Amino acid sequence: MSVLVCPVCAEKLAISGNSYVCPRRHSFDIARSGYVNLLLSKHVGRTVHGDNRLMVQARRDFLEKGYYSPLCEALCDEAEERFSGGTVLDAGCGEGYYTAALSEHLGAAEIYGFDISKIAVEMAAKRHKGITFAAASLFHMPAADCAFDMLVTLFAPYCGEEFLRVLKPGGVMVMAIPGELHLWEMKQKIYDIPYKNEVKPYELDGFEFVGKREIKYAARLSSKEDIASLFSMTPYYYRTGREQQERLAALNELETTVHFELLTYRKPQ
């Protein structure tokens, strides 16, 4: 049974034909690709902050070459260890790379993916059947209270109140964050004075901290295309001037540290 709720009135949604419909007759069409748009304009703000088509395609191409496969494997291992059945949400699912891997590893789990980028969830829904994808704001998720047994979030905005609301008591949240040295050599190539990432204390209000996995290795990128794809996936893409971008564009290959921390939390019973 779907755990989706109407973004207008918060009543439960049910599939009727090719639409999701609530008891108050608010209706949301299922796109041909398979996703549903549950994103209201008032939850977006003045501009849509989701990734555009070029960025989504670059990230998909980069991930499918396996550069971040150790993170994906660690995420699936952690999920398998902590999951005991039920529903899973990938909050900020993008084009569905990690969502699909979780679906394969967790078997009979009911998997959902939310992302603010309609382009990303459309691509995810086209490629990964059997998963419910929705365009939605993580700050106003169209899901019932206590809907999910597990929530994973990788590099998406942290929405603590909403994450706690949609997780069941005893539910698990797995979060990936950049480690201190993530992409350090790339930053050295771009910036005159690069800075290491600040890793904040792990404690989060309302959650019990369960544990951490550290993923750290060297990745060798052997083409300008892959270097550009990696750069476009990072926050530096928006903050870097033309001169620094030209430094990166001049590189034919790059070896850089990939450093992630996978943090696991539990919502108290």
Would you list the domain boundaries of the chain?
34-266
Q: Which residues, including other chains, have CB under 8 Å from residue 256's CB and lie 6 or more apart?
A: 183, 184, 185, 186, 218, 219, 221
pLDDT tens for each residue of 73-83: 999 999 999 99
- % of the chain exceeding 90 in pLDDT: 86
- C-alpha to C-alpha distance for 253 and 223, rounded to whole angstroms: 5
- Spatial separation of the C-alpha atoms in residues 161 and 138, rounded to whole Å: 10
CB 263 within 8 A of CB 203: no
Q: How confident is the prediction for the chain on average, in pLDDT?
A: 93
Neighbours of 130 (CB within 10 A): 10
Q: How confident is the model at residue 50 (pLDDT cuts 50, 70, 90)?
A: low
Residue 55 host element (H or E):
helix 53-64
pLDDT of 185 higher than 60: yes
Three-state secondary-structure class, residue 215: strand
CATH of span 34-266 = 3.40.50.150
| pLDDT for position 45 | 59
Here the tokens at position 46 are 């003045």
For the segment 110-136, the average pLDDT, to the nearest whole number, is 95
Task: Sort 168 into a burial class: Cβ within 10 Å, 0-12 / 13-18 / 19+.
Answer: middle
Task: For residues 230 and 175, give the distance between their C-alpha atoms in angstroms, rounded to a whole number.
Answer: 20
Please report the pLDDT score of residue 42 as a whole number. 73
Residue pair 113/121 in contact (Cβ under 8 Å)? The answer is yes
Q: Is the pLDDT of residue 93 over 80?
A: yes
| Cα 136 from Cα 138, distance rounded (Å) | 6
> What residues does 4 pair with on adjacent strands?
143
CA-to-CA dists, residue 79 to 50, 57, 197, 212, angstroms: 26, 26, 26, 13
Q: What pLDDT does 241 receive?
A: 87
Cα Rg of the chain, angstroms: 19
Q: How many CA atoms lie within 13 A of 5 on its CB side?
A: 14
Average pLDDT over residues 221-248: 89
